């Protein structure tokens, strides 16, 4: 099967950011296809995505009727992409926190899972307050320590998957969202014997729109890490 890339982009009320994101991605990775997974955005994001798909055969839209979390949106998008036969699948936010210019570097890295990392040499964050920095750093340290994983950025959502690694994580069994979704997906890939690497990125906090961060997302991650450590979460495929 020839190499083919799908960039999966969950959206909810991202009408302000979508035009810039789509334009930049089509410029940076012109051979890639985009899948916009919209959770019934009341601001018209889904309709805007449909207009792009109507004029560009490399843009696709998956409409979901309920907003039930980032993890569920990614599972739906990944499942769609695997069914269509794509060999590499990139996941990224729609709020321009993940720079489209970094996508070619993720695609060029030689690993089954490539993580756009804020916490390796050359990476970082911009426009974050002290509290947000401490929460993110602390969450990565917490997960890394308990799970014994050799990676610095376990909560970031800018990743490139090879098809085999994504198939091995057992998508139908994924139940987590937010931070815990990112941790669980990486954990499952490594447990299945796949190789991960980190590529430095600069994460810039959103300018337009509203952050989807909540206390529930943080608490879910705290519990999920222990479920993975103690083996009570469903296993990856081997």
Task: Determine, yes or no, domain membership for 238.
Answer: no
Q: How many CB atoms lie within 10 A of CB 113?
A: 22
Range of the domain at 42: 5-230
Please tell me the predicted confidence (pLDDT) of residue 177: 80
- H/E stretch holding 106: helix 103-108
Task: Determine, yes or no, domain membership for 236.
Answer: no
CA-wise closest residue to 94 among 228, 221, 209, 193: 209
Task: Determine, yes or no, domain membership for 17.
Answer: yes
Tens of pLDDT, residue by residue over 42-66, are 999 999 999 999 999 999 999 998 8
Strands 59-63, 124-126: pairing kind: unpaired
Task: Determine, yes or no, domain membership for 135.
Answer: yes
Task: Determine, yes or no, domain membership for 200.
Answer: yes
**Structure tokens, 33:** 């296809």
Tens of pLDDT, residue by residue over 143-181, are 899 999 999 999 999 999 999 999 999 999 997 887 789
Task: Determine, yes or no, domain membership for 140.
Answer: yes
How many domains in the chain? 1
Please tell me the predicted confidence (pLDDT) of residue 1: 42
- 11 Cβ contact list (under 8 Å, min separation 6): 18, 36, 37, 38, 39, 41, 45, 46, 49, 94
Inter-residue contact 50 to 61 (CB < 8 Å): yes
- 60 Cβ contact list (under 8 Å, min separation 6): 33, 34, 35, 36, 53, 80
Task: Determine, yes or no, domain membership for 188.
Answer: yes
Strands 159-162, 113-117: pairing kind: antiparallel
Please tell me the predicted confidence (pLDDT) of residue 99: 97
Task: Determine, yes or no, domain membership for 19.
Answer: yes
* CATH assignment of the domain containing 29: 3.90.550.10
CA-wise closest residue to 61 among 5, 23, 7, 3: 7
**Structure tokens, 59:** 């843009």
Spell out the per-residue pLDDT of the chain, length 238, in tens.
457 999 999 999 999 999 999 999 999 999 999 999 999 999 999 999 999 999 999 999 999 988 888 999 999 999 999 999 999 999 999 999 999 999 999 999 999 999 999 999 999 999 888 888 888 888 888 889 999 999 999 999 999 999 999 999 999 999 788 778 999 999 999 999 999 999 999 999 866 545 545 456 566 667 778 788 888 555 556 5
């Amino acid at each position: 099967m020839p190499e083919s890339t799908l960039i999966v982009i969950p959206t909810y009320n991202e009408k302000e950011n979508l035009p810039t994101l789509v334009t930049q991605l089509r410029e940076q990775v012109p051979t890639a296809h985009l899948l916009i997974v919209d959770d019934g955005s009341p601001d018209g994001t889904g309709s805007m995505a449909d207009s792009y798909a109507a004029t560009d055969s490399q843009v696709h839209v998956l409409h979901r009727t309920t907003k039930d979390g980032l993890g569920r949106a990614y599972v739906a998008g990944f499942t769609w992409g695997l069914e269509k036969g794509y060999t590499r699948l990139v996941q990224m936010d729609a709020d321009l926190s993940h720079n489209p210019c970094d996508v070619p570097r993720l695609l060029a890295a030689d690993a089954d899972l490539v993580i756009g990392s804020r916490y390796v040499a050359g990476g970082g964050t911009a426009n974050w307050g002290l509290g947000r920095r401490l929460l993110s750093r602390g969450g990565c340290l917490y997960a890394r320590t308990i799970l014994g994983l050799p990676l610095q950025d376990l909560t970031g959502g800018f990743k490139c998957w090879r098809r085999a690694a994504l198939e091995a994580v057992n998508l139908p069994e994924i139940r987590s969202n937010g931070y815990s979704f990112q941790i669980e997906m990486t954990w499952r890939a490594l447990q299945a014997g796949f190789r991960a690497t980190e590529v430095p990125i600069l994460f810039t906090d959103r300018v337009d729109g509203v952050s989807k961060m909540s206390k529930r997302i943080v608490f879910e991650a705290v519990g999920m890490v222990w479920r993975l450590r103690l083996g009570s979460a469903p296993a990856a495929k081997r």
